[in-house]
Amino acid sequence: MASFLIKFKNMPKVGVATIPLDYGRCPRWLFERMKKLARGIILTITEEFGPEEVLRRLSDPVWFQSFGCVIGFDYNSSGLTTTTLGALKVGLFDIQDQLGIYVCGGKKTSRKTPEEIEAYGISRGFSFVPKLIYASKMAAKVDSCLIQNLPSPFQLYHHNFVFTKSGQWCVVQQGMAPEIQKARRYHWLSSNIKDFIEEPHSGIVCDTKSKPLNLVARKSKNNKEISTEFIKEEPKTFLKDIKLISEKSNSLIRQKRLPGFTEMELKNVEFYWHPVLKEKFNLRRLEKTIRFAHSENPKDFEKLLSLKGVGPKTIRALSLVAELIYGAKPSYEDPARYSFAHGGKDSTPFPVDRKTYDQTIKALEKGIRKSKISNKEKNEAQRRLSKAF
C-alpha cells in the first residue's frame, strides 16, 4: 500500500489518503464513460469560468483527485492519474478549438510532448510555442533532477502538458519507484511560476515522506549557485574534489577553504542516511558531461539544468561537492505536505471556503448533467460526487 501525501502551497500538514500502485488496465466500457463525463465537466467549467480556470483546477492536486473519482476511477489507485488524463485528452480532442484547450503528452507519448506542442503551433499559428516546449522540458528536468529520492529514485513515466490559446499552461506528471511500490505526482501552473528552479510547483502528491535532495527549495539557493560556478570555471578543481569524495566517502574530509568550515565526518548523525555513503560515480562519463557543460558557459543554474546530458547524477555530484567541500548545504526536506480540499468544520486546518466549495460542486454537477451518458450513469456519478465532498 502506498500513502499519497497531498500538498498545497502555503498550507499546513493536515491529512492523508492511502493509495496502492495499480498495474491493471481500465476496461474499455469504463474508459468510454469516463471520456464522456470528463468532457462534460470540462466543457461546463470552461463555459462558466473560462479555459484558464480549467488549468488552475487541474494543477490543484486535491481537485484533480476528486475529478478522477467523480468520472469513475478508483479513489485508491495511482492509475487515476494516467487514466483520467487519457480520458480527458481523447474526450476533448474534437472540441479543443472550441474550448481553446489543448492536451499534449500522456503515458506512452510523454517523450513526444514537444512534437505535439510544435504541431499545434504550426497548424494553429501559435507564436508562443517555443516557450511552451521549453516549459514542458524544464518541468520534466526539474522533477527528474532537482527532487531526488535516494536510493529509490522516482522515474518519470507520465507527462501531460495542457495549454490554452492565450499561452497559459499546466503540467501534471507522475514518477514511479517500482522497487518500493511507490508513486509521486507533480502539478505545475504557469501563472504561479516565478522561477523554474525555485519552488515552482502548485502541488505535489507523494506516496511517502522521506529526505530527498531538494534543490527546488529556497534553502538550496547557495548550493545551486556554487554548482554553477563549478561549471563556469575550469572544471579541474571540481573533478579533483568529486574524485576525493568518491575515494574517501567513508573517511574524514578536511578542507580549510572557508572560514569556520574545516572538516565534516560523513558517518555522524546528520549524514548517516546520506546517499554519498553508497554513491558510485562514473568519473570518466561525469568529466565528459562537465567539460561539455563548461563549453556551453551557462549563465545560471536553470541554463545548466536545461543542457542536454545534464541529468540527476551530474546534478547530484555538483550538489555534493558544493555541500561537502564548500559547506553550501542544500535542503533535504520533502516538499510533499498534507492538506484537505476545502478546510474543516472546526476550522482545522483552516475555515471552509464556502464560496469555492459551492462553486466546485455546482460546476461538477452541471458537468454531469451535460454529459452524453445515460441517466443511470449520471446518477452513479452524482453519488460519487457526494462521497467525494
Phi, psi of 319 (to 5 degrees): -65, -40
Share of the chain above pLDDT 90, in %: 42
Mean pLDDT for 212-229 is 95
Grid cell digits, residue 208: 511517502
The mean pLDDT of the chain is: 79
Judged against a pLDDT cut of 60, whether residue 271 lies above it is answered with no
Grid cell digits, residue 205: 502528491
State pLDDT tens for residues 119-143: 999 999 999 999 999 999 999 999 9
- CA quadruple 325, 326, 332, 333: dihedral, nearest 10: 170
Q: Which of 117-121, 154-158, 360-364 shows the lowest mean pLDDT across its residues?
A: 360-364
Counting beta carbons within 10 angstroms of the beta carbon of residue 316, is it exposed (0 to 12), middle (13 to 18) or buried (19 or more)?
Answer: buried
Quickly state the pLDDT bin for 118 (edges 50, 70, 90).
Answer: very high
Counting beta carbons within 10 angstroms of the beta carbon of residue 3, is it exposed (0 to 12), middle (13 to 18) or buried (19 or more)?
Answer: middle
Residue in the structure block whose three cell numbers are 500538498: 7
Comparing 175 with 357, the larger pLDDT belongs to 175
List Cβ neighbours of 217 (8 Å cut-off, separation of 6 or more).
Answer: 198, 199, 330, 331, 333, 335
Mean pLDDT for 238-254 is 72
As a whole number of angstroms, the distance between CA 227 and CA 323 comes to 10
As a whole number of angstroms, the distance between CA 164 and CA 190 comes to 11
The whole-number pLDDT of residue 2 equals 37
The whole-number pLDDT of residue 326 equals 85
Strands 182-189 and 201-206: antiparallel
Quickly state the pLDDT bin for 373 (edges 50, 70, 90).
Answer: low
Contact 156, 143 (CB under 8 A): yes
The whole-number pLDDT of residue 131 equals 98
State pLDDT tens for residues 305-360: 999 999 999 999 999 899 888 888 899 888 865 433 433 334 443 454 556 556 66
Mean pLDDT for 368-386 is 69
Residue 379 has, within 13 A of its CA and on its CB side, a CA count of 3
State pLDDT tens for residues 292-302: 999 999 999 99
Judged against a pLDDT cut of 70, whether residue 192 lies above it is answered with yes
What are the counts of helices (DSSP H) followed by strands (DSSP E) for the chain? 14, 11
Mean pLDDT for 356-377 is 67
Judged against a pLDDT cut of 50, whether residue 273 lies above it is answered with no
The whole-number pLDDT of residue 201 equals 95
User: Which of 237, 251, 227, 225 has its CA nearest to residue 314?
Assistant: 227
List Cβ neighbours of 136 (8 Å cut-off, separation of 6 or more).
Answer: 104, 105, 113, 114, 117, 159, 161, 171
The whole-number pLDDT of residue 264 equals 46
Judged against a pLDDT cut of 90, whether residue 265 lies above it is answered with no
Cis peptide before 153 (omega within 30 of 0): no
Judged against a pLDDT cut of 80, whether residue 75 lies above it is answered with no
Domain ranges of the chain: 3-216, 219-324
The whole-number pLDDT of residue 294 equals 96
Quickly state the pLDDT bin for 288 (edges 50, 70, 90).
Answer: very high
As a whole number of angstroms, the distance between CA 146 and CA 98 comes to 37
State pLDDT tens for residues 160-173: 999 999 999 999 99
Q: At what angle do helices 51-58 and 28-49 cross, to 10 degrees?
A: 130
CA angle 130, 92, 140 (to 5 degrees): 40
Share of the chain above pLDDT 70, in %: 70
The whole-number pLDDT of residue 341 equals 40
For 84, 95, 141, 191, the CA distances from 214, given in Å and listed in that order, are 28, 40, 13, 22
